[in-house]
């Protein structure tokens, strides 16, 4: 996966969300070399699952904490697809 253009398939997103949950529960935080695209995408997905947020809410929260965050079209597509997956999983779609 490459920064600025990289994205991930849903199984990778689910794995990353579980990893983030585990890290946070043990007092750790998410860190990436640039911290602008991939990590922001994974954190947005984590926040959507944890708080039942929609993509724009999760993105704005991340952006407020780290203003240099930029999600490209591929990352937005992935985040939106993950939201649809969560909706379907909870019987909302």
Active site residues: 32
The rounded distance, in Å, linking the Cα atoms of 43 and 59 is 9
How many helices (H) and strands (E) the chain has is answered by 4, 0
- Count the neighbouring beta carbons within 10 Å of the beta carbon of residue 28: 10
Q: Look at the block and give the residue holding tokens 């079209």.
A: 73
Residue 19: name the closest of 29, 10, 9 by CA.
29
């Amino acid at each position: 996966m490459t920064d600025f253009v990289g994205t991930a398939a849903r199984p990778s997103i689910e794995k990353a969300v579980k990893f983030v949950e585990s890290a946070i529960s043990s007092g750790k935080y998410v860190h990436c070399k640039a911290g602008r695209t991939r990590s922001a995408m994974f954190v947005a997905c984590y926040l959507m699952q944890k708080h039942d947020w929609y993509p724009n809410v999760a993105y704005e929260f991340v952006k407020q904490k780290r203003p240099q965050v930029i999600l490209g079209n591929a990352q937005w597509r992935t985040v939106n697809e993950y939201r649809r997956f969560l909706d379907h999983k909870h019987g909302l779609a």
